[in-house]
Amino acid sequence: MTFADEREQLLYATLRIRRVEEHIARIYPDDCIQSPVHLSLGQEAVAVGTCAPLARTDMVFGTYRSHAFYLAKGGSLREMMAELFGKATGCAGGKAGSMHLTAPEVGFMGSSAVVASTIPNAVGAAFAARRRRTNAIVVGVFGDGATEEGVYHESLNFAALHRLPVLFLCENNEFAVHSPRSARQSYDITEHARSFGIAAKRCGAGFDPEVVRDAVAEAVLALRSGAGPRFIECATYRYAEHVGIGDDHQIGYRPLATCNEWRARDPLLNSRACLERFEAPIAAEIEDAVAFAEASPWPTPDALLRDVA
Amino acid sequence: MGFAYRIEERPEEIITYRDALWRTMHDALARDPDVIIMGQGVDDHKGIFGSTTGLAETFGRERVFDVPLAEDGMTGVALGAALGGLYPIQTHIRCDFALLAINQLVNMVAKYRYMFGGRFRVPMLVRTVIGRSWGQGAQHSQSPQALFAHVPGLTVVLPSSADSILETYGTLISRRQVPVVSLEHRLLYDVAFRIPVPALEWPQAPLGSILRRRGRHVTVVATSILVLEALRAAEHLSQAAGIEVEVIDLHCASHPDREMILASVARTGRLLVADTSWCAYGVAAEICRLVCEHDPSALRAPVVTIGMAAAPCPTAKTLEDLYYPSLHRLTDEIAVLARGRAKHGVELPAEASMADVYKKFKGPF
């Protein structure tokens, strides 16, 4: 694939994730995917912009909503689709489903369904990277809800205390399932992160991969120079329901008007014509991945007790 | 576990549990630059009851370091460090504090290998210490081996002697395969042991059970300090009444040596389980399950289980001494089991607080 410029390349990567998830939503009613799916629709640009400045050897730790980060970091689409289908060729051999995607070969180090629980793992990996002088940096990805967990505070404190090369990347979509931030938080996320002495900034344009990329690239430079941890709060919006493939704006816990504001700024919707030429190759790639998943074997019974300890 | 086990040639010596711990920690740091020790107070003048004293000075504070009071977070950091190629040794000066790290231990550490299809290994050692005596109370005395061993993916050991420390920790740290939760016993720290141990049968792997004493009348499966109590009871019963007790040191709560236990019960027909924790849903219940499922007809008498009273630990000494099983009661229960009647006529050792005994008794064992 050739690109006119970096922006087009970033938009292509964002569009690719969007189309993958839209396809997942399309085939989900067939029950070929037997796993709860937390779609990143609307949040793809955060993942693409975050992973763009990273090296393959840099590490990312994700959440249960990690389709976008897995793909943006370079995880195999075939292996992801096979994992969602529960097949032996999946990225975790059919033991992870959608919520525990992993691709260590490209530095996507795992994702957890328990909110905030990979944040200290990212900090520990950063500790090891510095101790072993690998020059790798680590990104811990989490949502706004995670900032309420005790382990989040424990992790920020330790990372700041030891000046570790870790970027805390908060995807703030304002909701923990259906609970608004106003019902949950007494603090401002970025201001609070600064109280640990961590250089923190807001990125309000989580819909634009280029803007996110620029913010992260600046942080990555600082991390490589050993300046200590960085923090970015990225505003974003989840188009679909918390889990599942549906739209839930009709329920009323969040106004459709807000969604429409985000959609109005969404470059994938605004630049449709410019991206048109990518649609066919992306569709072909998705078709190939689904065919691969369908044709792949189920895990055999001997896998049940393999790799327990 | 997939690796062969070999007992290193070691000269005979007498060494305390504490010194065995210190030596293991020292040697691990000296042999492998990826080993780190992290825990509250590991670098202070007390050094986890003397098991890490001076190591920060010798090996540097980047490798032996104090941590914030953040058990869950620090366990998560240890996991991440293991993913990044280090071998973290994390300490909790009381087992009770490890309960703050349940999310990382149960949801992350135990599952990181399996949940991601075997793509990762997270070799690490979590050292915890069971508190006992002098009014430790409800939150400084728990012995949660069953809680951890319940979870597939965690390997749980309870070293009962200096040789267990040297063999098990040494092997685990050098092989770097699995995450291990270890429950050390505070009362054992001052006890000296003669090594190599006069064990009759070492496990095929470092994570099995250890046959400590051969006997034909009763099988006692014991954990941690109760292994020593069982050996003392066995010695007494042998001399006082000719009752020969077979003592199996369970050693690895997550991987009990089923064959060793079943073979022993098949010979003796009588089983007593003595565990440092509560009996219900615990090690005692689990060992009974093994026998009931695999060879119930071997039992010629109902099983007997001994553990802490089914309550939080009280602090008053009069209650505390009742709370824990005593040598007196252990010996009595074994004699009842061996003779098949309550009035067994066997002279019993004096009723004495185990804590008092181990504060004075320094071995060698």
pLDDT given at position A128: 98
Mean pLDDT of chain A: 97
In a domain, A303, yes or no: no
Q: What is the mean pLDDT of residues A301-306?
A: 97
**CB distance from B290 to chain A under 8 Å?**
no
Q: What is the mean pLDDT of residues B65-93?
A: 98
- Supply the CATH number for residue A236's domain: 3.40.50.970
pLDDT given at position B5: 41
In a domain, A302, yes or no: no
| Paired tokens of A37 | 């799916």
**CB distance from B72 to chain A under 8 Å?**
yes
Where in the sequence of chain B do the CATH 3.40.50.920 domains occur?
A: 200-349
pLDDT given at position B198: 57
B124: left (phi over 0), alpha (psi -120 to 50) or beta: beta
pLDDT digits over B286-335, tens only? Answer: 999 999 999 999 999 999 999 999 999 999 999 998 999 999 999 999 99
Do B160 and B223 touch, CB atoms closer than 8 A?
yes
State the ipTM, two decimals: 0.96
Mutation target vs A (from B67, B74, B116, B148; most A CBs, 10 A cutoff): B116
pLDDT digits over B164-213, tens only? Answer: 999 899 889 988 899 999 999 999 999 999 887 655 566 556 688 999 99
In a domain, A274, yes or no: yes
Question: Which of A117, A121, A309 lies nearest to residue B83, judging by beta carbons?
Answer: A121
Residues B80, A128: C-beta atoms closer than 8 Å: yes
Do B283 and B275 touch, CB atoms closer than 8 A?
yes
B146 sits in which H/E element: helix B145-149
pLDDT digits over A206-264, tens only? Answer: 999 999 999 999 999 999 999 999 999 999 999 999 999 999 999 999 999 999 999 99
Q: What is the mean pLDDT of residues B222-247?
A: 97
Q: Is B206 helix (H, G, I), strand (E, B) or coil?
A: coil
In a domain, A166, yes or no: yes
Total domains, chain A? 1
Residue A56 makes CB contacts below 8 A (sequence gap 6+) with: A74, A106, A107
In a domain, A308, yes or no: no
- Structure confidence at residue B352 as a pLDDT band (50, 70, 90): confident
pLDDT given at position A271: 87
Do A129 and A137 touch, CB atoms closer than 8 A?
yes
Q: What is the mean pLDDT of residues A105-114?
A: 97
Q: What is the CATH number of domain B13-193?
A: 3.40.50.970
- Structure confidence at residue B1 as a pLDDT band (50, 70, 90): very low
pLDDT given at position B199: 57
Residue B196: cis peptide before it, omega within 30 degrees of 0: yes
Give the percent of chain A with pLDDT over 90: 97
Residue-number span of the structural domain to which A198 is assigned? 6-254+261-293
Question: Which of A96, A131, A138 lies nearest to residue B62, judging by beta carbons?
Answer: A131
Q: How far apart are CA A215 and CA B155, in angstroms?
A: 43
Mutation target vs A (from B1, B40, B77, B125; most A CBs, 10 A cutoff): B77
Please give the residue of chain B at the shortest CA–CA distance from A162: B62
Where in the sequence of chain B do the CATH 3.40.50.970 domains occur?
A: 13-193
Mean pLDDT of chain B: 92
B200-349 folds as Rossmann fold (3.40.50)
